[in-house]
Amino acid sequence: MMKMTPEHEELQRTVRQFVDNEINPFVDEWEAEGIFPAKTLFKKMGDLGLLGISKPEAFGGSGLDYSFEIVAAEALGTAHCGGIPMAVGVQSNMATPALSLFGSDELRKEFLAPAVAGDKVASIAVSEPGAGSDVASIKTYAKPDGDDYVINGSKMWITNSTQADFFCVLVNTSDDSMHSNKSLVIVPSDLPGIMVGERLHKMGMRCSDTAPVFFDNVRVPRGYLIGEQGKGFSYQMIQFQEERLIGVAFCLNYLQLCIDSTIEYTKDRKAFNQSLLDNQLIHFRLAELQTELESLRALLYQATEIYIAGDDVTKMASMAKFKLGQLCREIPDACLQFWGGMGYIEETIVNRIYRDMRVVAIAGGASEVMLGIISKLMGIHTSKPA
Ligand SMILES: Cc1cc2nc3c(=O)[nH]c(=O)nc-3n(C[C@H](O)[C@H](O)[C@H](O)COP(=O)(O)OP(=O)(O)OC[C@H]3O[C@@H](n4cnc5c(N)ncnc54)[C@H](O)[C@@H]3O)c2cc1C
């Protein structure tokens, strides 16, 4: 199992302190505005070394193993919103892992180093209006033309996009088969032909900006290709593993806050001459949810160990993401019920958690897509999804 060393504990303290001082006092304001100041917040995090924990030291990272990323992500999950951890996750664990692993030194110097320092905001642009779960069927095309690619297409639901300095974009670069025609390309957001649409109004994760991005004959130097042309699909599948592990870590403490705040609320609230919490139906249910949460934590730590050992973590990461999706629906829904009418009021924390966490079973690989991967790796189903 994952062991906590004094170094892990130190990192955990730093992140928790950062959340207490720099995030939680401002969450209500950012949620109301529908956006948080990514550039300012990321710079502060970059200065503390929190955006490149496992990234190579040559590009400003700390070069630590992935258990440190997990510990930091769990601590960031003490934020009183899901939007900030999601935005930070995009920067460090969704838009940049492939760049870090496969990008050329020049590319990493130009984009990874400033992302780690908090000087550039990153987005990952995979999903499209017509292709979310079915990643292989994306239509955005980057046509090789002399020393450039010329990109046309559109991406949908892109986190951080209205503040991004660059996008890591999954594109088609040839007419070969669906899994060998794809590439990942870094695209600076200020190039001619890029248009970021209006912020989408979301049910939850409101302090995180999400928008569509359009590419109209955007010229990008061929040097901005990550690794080899045609390997984009497998790079993205590798990148997804970090995204899924970190996604679980971000949610653990937010789900814990859901349970804890419900214990507090139901202890204070009296009905039929006793605290609501004194009803066996309620305290048994909370005990059951706490047990589920601890099982998920154990699964995450086991998957992290596998990943650190360099073994294929796809099955375990998919199982953890699947279980997380289920609990992100079950825990907030059960807890909100015990808050009664107050649970239905937007200002309560249980209401925010309920709204924020609903997306977890959908984004970054829907629960059904996870089941597809798991059953394929169990050898009981061989067709799509990949
Ligand atoms: C807040 C938010 C932030 C996001 N951020 C980003 C981002 O930064 N970058 C990015 O690229 N994308 C992002 N996304 C997009 C997200 O990853 C997609 O929404 C997700 O992959 C699902 O794709 P879809 O919406 O097209 O659903 P669809 O593919 O249309 O699927 C709809 C539903 O059908 C079901 N389903 C799908 N496949 C199967 C199957 N094989 N078997 C059974 N049922 C199935 C699932 O229940 C699924 O939810 C974000 C989305 C949201 C809501």
Closest ligand 1 atom to residue 205 Cα is: 1
Q: Give 128's DSSP letter.
A: B
pLDDT at 277 over 70: yes
Q: What is the pLDDT of residue 384?
A: 57
Cα 203 to Cα 356: distance, rounded to the nearest angstrom = 7
Q: 207: left (phi > 0), else alpha (psi -120 to 50), else beta?
A: alpha
Say whether both 171 and 116 belong to one domain.
no
Say whether both 178 and 296 belong to one domain.
no
Residue 54's alpha-carbon distances to 62, 63, 104, 247, 333, in angstroms, are 6, 5, 18, 16, 35
DSSP 82-110: SHHHHHHHIIIIISSHHHHHHS-HHHIII
Q: What is the pLDDT of residue 170?
A: 98
Closest ligand 1 atom to residue 161 Cα is: 8
Say whether both 204 and 240 belong to one domain.
no
Measuring from atom 37 of ligand 1, which residue has the nearest CA? 133
- Is residue 110 classed exposed, middle or buried when 0-12, 13-18 and 19+ CB atoms within 10 A define those classes? middle
Q: What is the pLDDT of residue 125?
A: 98
Say whether both 70 and 14 belong to one domain.
yes
Q: Is residue 283 part of a domain?
A: yes
Q: Is the CB of 228 under 6 A from ligand 1?
A: no
Say whether both 71 and 38 belong to one domain.
yes
pLDDT tens digits along 100-110: 999 999 999 99
Q: What is the pLDDT of residue 383?
A: 64
Q: What is the pLDDT of residue 239?
A: 86
Q: What is the CATH number of the domain that holds 14?
A: 1.10.540.10
Say whether both 153 and 74 belong to one domain.
no
Do residues 73 and 251 lie in contact, with contact meaning Cβ atoms separated by under 8 Å?
A: no
- pLDDT range class, residue 1, cuts 50, 70, 90: low
pLDDT tens digits along 193-205: 999 999 999 999 9
Q: What is the pLDDT of residue 52?
A: 97
Say whether both 226 and 98 belong to one domain.
no
Say whether both 167 and 217 belong to one domain.
yes
Q: What is the pLDDT of residue 253?
A: 98
Q: What is the CATH number of the domain that holds 162?
A: 2.40.110.10
Select from 358, 383, 359 the least CA-distant residue to 373.
383
Cα 355 to Cα 347: distance, rounded to the nearest angstrom = 11
Q: Cα(61) to centroid of ligand 1, in Å?
A: 31
Q: What is the CATH number of the domain that holds 329?
A: 1.20.140.10
pLDDT at 55 over 90: yes
Q: Is the CB of 124 under 6 A from ligand 1?
A: yes
pLDDT tens digits along 211-247: 999 999 999 999 999 999 999 999 999 989 989 999 9
> Is residue 372 classed as helix, strand or coil in its secondary structure?
helix
In this predicted model, which residue has the larger pLDDT, 153 or 3? 153
Cα 12 to Cα 4: distance, rounded to the nearest angstrom = 10
Which of 64-73, 151-160, 217-226, 375-384 shows the lowest mean pLDDT across its residues?
Answer: 375-384
pLDDT at 90 over 80: yes
Residue 236's alpha-carbon distances to 94, 126, 185, 369, in angstroms, are 9, 9, 11, 15
Q: Is residue 383 part of a domain?
A: no
Say whether both 371 and 278 belong to one domain.
yes
Q: What is the pLDDT of residue 382?
A: 72
Marked catalytic residue, from 31, 74, 128, 243: 243
Closest ligand 1 atom to residue 133 Cα is: 29
Q: Is residue 382 part of a domain?
A: no
- What is the average per-residue pLDDT within 261-270? 98
Which residues on adjacent β-strands are paired with residue 209? none
Select from 133, 50, 111 the least CA-distant residue to 84.
50
Do residues 239 and 345 lie in contact, with contact meaning Cβ atoms separated by under 8 Å?
A: no
Domain boundary among 101, 121, 141: 121
Assess whether 330 carries a catalytic annotation: no
- Chain-centroid distance, C-alpha 261: 24
Say whether both 77 and 46 belong to one domain.
yes
Q: For residue 30, report the phi and psi dihedrals to the nearest 5 degrees.
A: -70, -35
Say whether both 172 and 268 belong to one domain.
no
pLDDT at 386 over 60: no
Provide the token pair at 165: 């300095």
Q: Is the CB of 202 under 6 A from ligand 1?
A: yes
Over pLDDT 90: what percentage of the chain? 96
Q: For residue 54, report the phi and psi dihedrals to the nearest 5 degrees.
A: -105, 5
Q: Is residue 386 part of a domain?
A: no
With vertex at residue 79, the alpha carbon angle to CA 78 and CA 84, rounded to the nearest 5 degrees, is: 135
Domain count, the chain: 3
- What is the average per-residue pLDDT within 165-180? 96
pLDDT tens digits along 106-134: 999 999 999 999 999 999 999 999 999 99
Closest ligand 1 atom to residue 127 Cα is: 11
pLDDT at 385 over 60: no
Q: What is the pLDDT of residue 191?
A: 98
- Note the residue count of the chain: 386
Measuring from atom 7 of ligand 1, which residue has the nearest CA? 158
Query: Can you tell me which residue has the tokens 């073994």?
Result: 311
Do residues 208 and 162 lie in contact, with contact meaning Cβ atoms separated by under 8 Å?
A: no
Q: Is residue 369 part of a domain?
A: yes
Round the average pLDDT of the chain to a whole number and report it.
96
- pLDDT range class, residue 248, cuts 50, 70, 90: very high
Range of the domain at 296: 233-377
Q: Cα(124) to centroid of ligand 1, in Å?
A: 14
pLDDT tens digits along 29-41: 999 999 999 999 9
Q: How many CB atoms are located within 10 Å of the residue 240 CB?
A: 24
Q: Cα(125) to centroid of ligand 1, in Å?
A: 13
Q: Cα(362) to centroid of ligand 1, in Å?
A: 5
Over pLDDT 70: what percentage of the chain? 99
Domain boundary among 121, 155, 190: 121
Q: For residue 215, report the phi and psi dihedrals to the nearest 5 degrees.
A: -120, 115
Say whether both 221 and 281 belong to one domain.
no
Q: What is the pLDDT of residue 327?
A: 98
User: Which secondary structure element, helix H or strand E, spans residue 9, and what is its range?
Assistant: helix 6-18
- pLDDT range class, residue 2, cuts 50, 70, 90: confident
Q: Is the CB of 368 under 6 A from ligand 1?
A: yes
Domain boundary among 86, 121, 156: 121
